[in-house]
Amino acid sequence: MRRGVVLSTCEHLLSALRGSGVDNCFIDLDNIEIPIMDGSSEDFIALIEKAGIAEQKAARRVFRVLERVAFEQGDRKMSIEPSEKFEIDCVINFPHPFIGKQTFRYTEDNAKDENPHSAIRTPQSSYGREIASARTFGFTHEIDMLRKANLALGGSIDNAIVLTDSGMLNETPLRFADEFVRHKILDIIGDLALIGMPIAGRVTAEKSGHSVHASLMSKLLKAEHAWEIVETFN
Ligand SMILES: [Zn+2]
């Protein structure tokens, strides 16, 4: 909210940019809310692929974790520790027949284009393959509450997986059996993108959510001995 401008629901777009290895871009918006699209990052990835990515002749700054930092709030836990890559280990647990306990390990991998002479490359990322199309999800009772408060009026099965007590309202199948934990990783990547540069570190998250992600980041940024900013041409 620097300069008094609020921008909401930016995490899926930031997640797509970070997942594709984009550091610099110009985004033109005519509203204070990023469109929710289908509740995933798939459309943003398609746009990035269409535009292509140009490599710049400048060093990339990377946020390198040097010491483990952890945050806990009841049974919600999140930590980050040193690693050469950006990795996320995530566990979610919802008492619902479609979810239950799901775990997923994501390792960032932005393979380079086969043509090294081309200035524009097409992103071929592990993010695009494993994470981008996982949709957000909600429960019918939450949506009823939001509607009463005049919120989420555009929310529907077109932009989320909507779960009832024992099933879901969507008529098309899940995109992955573990789509829920994959979307949680999508959110973590988007929230951590607010650090402002790629992260070299291993994240472990258990039952986390946006407020836990924000709390871990604040704690990490305050622990100045726990990280350094390095320049790389990779
Ligand atoms: Zn999300």
pLDDT digit string (tens) for 37-50? 999 999 999 999 88
- Label residue 152 by pLDDT band (50, 70, 90): low
Domain spans in the chain, listed from the N-terminal domain onward = 2-232
Which element (helix H / strand E) includes 50?
A: helix 42-51
Q: Flag whether the pTM goes above 0.85.
A: yes
What's the gap in Å between 12 CA and the centre of ligand 1? 6
Catalytic positions? 210
Share of the chain above pLDDT 90, in %: 64
Task: Tell me which residues have their CB within 5 A of the ion that is ligand 1.
Answer: 136, 187
3-state secondary structure 75-108: CEEEEEECCCCEEEEEEEEECCCCCEEEEEEEEC
The per-residue pLDDT for 197 is 94
- State the Cα–Cα distance between residues 24 and 27, nearest whole angstrom: 10
* Alpha carbon of 48 to ligand 1 centroid (Å): 19
Give the residue from 33, 46, 22 showing the smallest Cα distance to 198.
22
Query: What band does 32 get if pLDDT is binned at 50, 70 and 90?
Result: confident
pLDDT in tens, 4-28: 777 778 899 999 999 999 999 988 8
Q: How far is the CA of 61 from the centre of ligand 1 (A)?
A: 26
Identity of residue 66:
L
Q: What pLDDT sits at residue 135?
A: 95
Q: Which CATH class is domain 2-232?
A: alpha beta
Rounded to the nearest angstrom, the distance between the alpha carbon of 179 and the centre of ligand 1 is 12
Beta strands 137-139 and 161-163 are parallel
